[in-house]
């Protein structure tokens, strides 16, 4: 399995698309380098993980440009756009909203809570409809963007993302994205931010390895040490952003990677753009299962300007082999004869732990097409297929249309849903040709 990890892109309104875009060359070179690296590795990414700060100020136009750039990146590296997963960072927060007195009061109340009472305080805020909306209000533009990737967040039941992939031996990789930005504002400082109690529900599962990605590293979280201890017990791979400085920690039980920023501010000391590629595979050795993690850390060098490998002493990559608990896939005990050859039993992975199925994969692809439609077209399709419920009127747009997508899947209407989307897109194309 190959994972492309990017963080801190900081698409800034007024810069991208302009005649003097300072990051145009850097951005183009990153895409070219990622394409070349994938070709050298002989594979394409199974997942693209973006650990926050997609935008610079949480502006809608910044996310519109991000969407276009993500499509270009996926096209070049040979990955479906539906394989993108995102979490928010502090720059994905609309700070003018986060500055409102009621939200600041909630932030200070949480920040001043004694550590032993923190979990209860956070649950209280997030489980209450009004205060939950307050805390997540500054992430509305982010959620409208993330919704197309089925990564939008909404308290109390969906404050983290989860997606599951099949590893080479049939076991599962569970990829979980944590939100560390729901108490973020202009007043951020170390130890002033949080992950919520849902982050601590991650647990060991039979035949499942865990990868967790989050924007803020532990030292920025008031409950960071608690999170570090918990993830040290359950998560083999931990990815972070925010500090714009790449670091790789190889532990017996886990690998932690802090990413360079894809677009750090050029006035920063130690300016060093970068991104990561992670190869994962499971192998069996002397009766043990081991997860092999090979991290290709790509960093920018000057004169000549290009991305190059960050070296681990003599190697162009970082490697760790992590012991996993024993696990065996289910096997078919029968065999049959075909002509003169014996057809041996095939191994069938245990599907019970795999969240993704064919309908969910289709839903992700449809979500991208659906969210590109205008509000009125999305509403018309939902109404025509009777996918709207009365309680949806209270939901923000991104959540309302997420529920529409999920109902289409649950009711076996994905084919009809796609037909309506294609018809709506056709109408848009005709209108554009006439203009």
CB 148 within 8 A of CB 371: yes
Helices 118-127 and 129-136, axial angle in degrees (round to 10): 100
DSSP 360-423: HHHHHHHHHHHHTS-HHHHHHHHHHTT---GGGGGS-HHHHHHHHHHHHHHTT-HHHHHHHHHH
CB 243 within 8 A of CB 217: yes
Domain boundaries along the sequence of the chain: 2-324, 357-434
Band (pLDDT 50/70/90 cuts) for residue 269 is confident
Based on DSSP, count helices (H) and strands (E) in the chain, helices before strands.
12, 17
Strands of 260-317 (E only): list them. Answer: 274-285, 288-301, 306-309
pLDDT at 353 over 70: no
d(C-alpha 220, C-alpha 242), whole Å = 9
Comparing 40 with 17, the larger pLDDT belongs to: 40
Choose among 311, 305, 418, 410: nearest CA to 359.
410
Comparing 433 with 112, the larger pLDDT belongs to: 112
Question: What is the predicted pLDDT for the residue at 426?
Answer: 75
Beta-bridge mates of residue 87? 51
d(C-alpha 134, C-alpha 416), whole Å = 37
For the chain, what's the residue count?
A: 435
Model pTM score: 0.92
- The verdict on whether omega for the bond into residue 304 sits within 30 degrees of 0, i.e. cis, is yes
β-pair type (2-6, 47-51): parallel
In sequence order, which residues have a C-beta less than 8 Å from that of residue 23 and are 6 or more positions away?
A: 15, 16, 263
Band (pLDDT 50/70/90 cuts) for residue 352 is very low
Beta-bridge mates of residue 144? none
DSSP 6-65: E----B-TTTTTSTT-TTHHHHHHHHHHHHHHHHHHTS--SEEEEES--BSS--HHHHHH
d(C-alpha 21, C-alpha 17), whole Å = 6
Alpha-carbon Rg for the chain, nearest whole angstrom, is: 23
pLDDT at 196 over 80: yes
Q: First vs last Cα of the chain: how many Å apart?
A: 45
What is the torsional sign of CA 141, 142, 147, 152?
Answer: negative
Of 130-134, 211-215, 350-354, the one with minimum mean pLDDT is: 350-354
Angle (CA) 34-23-258 rounded to 5° is: 55
Beta-bridge mates of residue 248? 257
Q: Which helix (H) or strand (E) holds 306?
A: strand 306-309
What backbone torsions phi and psi does residue 413 show, to the nearest 5 degrees?
-110, 20
d(C-alpha 49, C-alpha 4), whole Å = 6
| Other CB atoms within 10 Å distance of the CB of residue 273 | 23
Question: What is the predicted pLDDT for the residue at 285?
Answer: 85
> Cα–Cα distances in Å, from 29 out to 6, 13, 307, 308?
14, 21, 8, 11
Provide, rounded to the nearest whole percent, the portion of the chain with pLDDT above 90. 86
Fold of 2-324: Purple Acid Phosphatase; chain A, domain 2 (3.60.21)
Mean pLDDT of 346-369: 65
What backbone torsions phi and psi does residue 89 show, to the nearest 5 degrees?
-120, 180
Determine the 3-state secondary structure of 114 from DSSP.
coil
d(C-alpha 292, C-alpha 245), whole Å = 24
> Cα–Cα distances in Å, from 397 out to 372, 374, 392?
13, 12, 9
pLDDT at 351 over 80: no
Question: What is the predicted pLDDT for the residue at 342?
Answer: 38
| DSSP-assigned letter for residue 115 | G
d(C-alpha 379, C-alpha 387), whole Å = 10
Beta-bridge mates of residue 240? 258
**Mean pLDDT across the chain:** 91
Question: What is the predicted pLDDT for the residue at 337?
Answer: 43
CB 7 within 8 A of CB 215: yes
d(C-alpha 82, C-alpha 360), whole Å = 11
| Other CB atoms within 10 Å distance of the CB of residue 360 | 15
Choose among 261, 187, 215: nearest CA to 89.
215
d(C-alpha 35, C-alpha 41), whole Å = 10
146-187: pLDDT as tens digits: 999 999 999 999 999 999 999 999 999 999 999 999 999 999
């Amino acid at each position: 399995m190959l994972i492309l990890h990017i963080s801190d892109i900081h698409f800034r309104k007024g810069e991208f698309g302009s005649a003097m875009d300072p990051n145009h060359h850097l951005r183009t070179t990153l895409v070219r380098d990622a394409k070349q690296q994938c070709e050298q590795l002989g594979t394409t990414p199974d997942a693209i993980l973006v650990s926050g700060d997609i935008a610079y100020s949480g502006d809608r136009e910044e996310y519109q440009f991000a969407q276009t750039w993500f499509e270009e990146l996926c096209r070049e590296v040979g990955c479906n756009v539906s394989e993108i997963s995102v979490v928010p960072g502090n720059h994905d927060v609309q700070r003018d909203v986060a500055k409102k007195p009621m939200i600041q009061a909630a932030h200070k109340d949480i920040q001043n809570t004694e550590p032993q009472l923190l979990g209860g305080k956070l649950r209280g805020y997030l489980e209450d409809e009004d205060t939950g909306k307050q805390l997540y209000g500054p992430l509305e533009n982010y959620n409208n963007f993330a919704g197309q990737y089925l990564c939008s967040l909404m308290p109390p039941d969906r404050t983290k993302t989860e997606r599951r992939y099949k590893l080479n031996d049939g076991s599962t990789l569970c990829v979980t994205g944590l939100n560390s930005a729901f108490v973020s504002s202009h007043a951020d400082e170390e130890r002033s931010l949080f992950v919520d109690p849902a982050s601590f529900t991650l647990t060991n599962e039979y035949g499942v390895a865990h990868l967790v990605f989050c924007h803020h590293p532990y030292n920025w979280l008031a409950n960071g040490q608690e999170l570090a201890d918990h993830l040290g017990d359950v998560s083999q791979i931990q990815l972070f952003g925010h500090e714009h400085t790449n670091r790789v920690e190889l532990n017996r039980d886990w690998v932690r990677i802090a990413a360079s920023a894809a677009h750090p501010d050029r006035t920063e000391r130690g300016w060093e753009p970068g991104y990561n590629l992670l190869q994962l595979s499971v192998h069996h050795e002397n009766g043990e299962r081991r997860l092999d993690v090979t991290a290709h850390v790509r960093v920018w060098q000057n004169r000549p300007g290009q991305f190059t490998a960050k070296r681990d002493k003599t190697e162009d990559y970082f490697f760790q082999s992590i012991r996993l608990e024993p696990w065996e896939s289910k096997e078919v005990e029968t065999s049959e004869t075909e002509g003169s050859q014996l057809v041996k039993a095939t191994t069938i992975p245990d599907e019970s732990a795999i969240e993704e199925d064919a309908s969910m994969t289709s839903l992700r692809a449809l979500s991208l097409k659906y969210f590109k439609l205008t509000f009125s077209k999305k509403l018309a399709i939902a109404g025509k297929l009777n996918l709207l419920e009365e309680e949806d009127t209270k939901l923000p747009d991104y959540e309302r249309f997420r529920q529409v997508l999920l109902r289409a899947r649950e009711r076996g209407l994905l084919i009809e849903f796609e037909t309506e989307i294609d018809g709506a897109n056709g109408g848009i194309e005709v209108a554009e040709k006439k203009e």
